[in-house]
Amino acid sequence: MAETFKKENLKMNKLIKKIACAVMAFTLVTGVLTGCKANNSKAAKADIPSFTSVKDDSGELPSKGTVGDIEYRMLSKDQMGCYNKDRGYYIDQLEQLDSPYFIVISAGTHTSSGSDIKISDFGMNGSTLVIVVEEYKESGTKYEGLNCPCAALEVDQMPADLLIISTAGEHFEKINP
């Protein structure tokens, strides 16, 4: 009787090992075939929402002005360096009383020189500031040292909500400066 029990137990252990191996193999194959999409770092894509643009009648973005009740100033790359290697945006502010806010949009690290990003349009949709950025793979812009492609907008106050989206419909998420 004890010997029969050992044989049954041995058969059960072999069956459990086979099932465990099959489950692990299935999990690995599924991960490889799906490309591990759960860890995919691509931003979510969406349509650009409608908003009241600050562009003038000729379709140009004024370098400074008012959007809603917020005063803004577009900053050039010479005025604002970007050293953040992550893709997204962050809010920066000088350590002074009544300092403006700087909305810095980083394209992240690009392997090819010549990549760039710029604000192509922005405006208000209710209480949300919508900023649309355009990315260029071959702009001719050269970045040296720690710099990476970014765009910046200075505002005197922060809107209730902020949405930053590319012309391709990719959302930029908030990152740490």
pLDDT in tens, 98-133: 899 999 999 887 655 667 889 999 999 999 999 999
pLDDT at site 85: 78
pTM for the whole structure: 0.70
Per-residue tokens: 120? 């192509």
Distances (CA, A) of 176 to 79, 146, 152: 20, 17, 15
- All structural domains of the chain with their residue ranges: 2-39, 52-166
* CA-based nearest residue to 51, from 129, 145, 106, 109: 129
Which residues of the chain are under the pLDDT cut of 50? 29, 31-42
State the DSSP code for 37: G
Q: Residues 11-22: pLDDT tens digits? A: 556 656 666 555
pLDDT at site 135: 87
Alpha carbon distance 151, 165 (integer Å) = 13
pLDDT at site 110: 64
pLDDT at site 175: 93
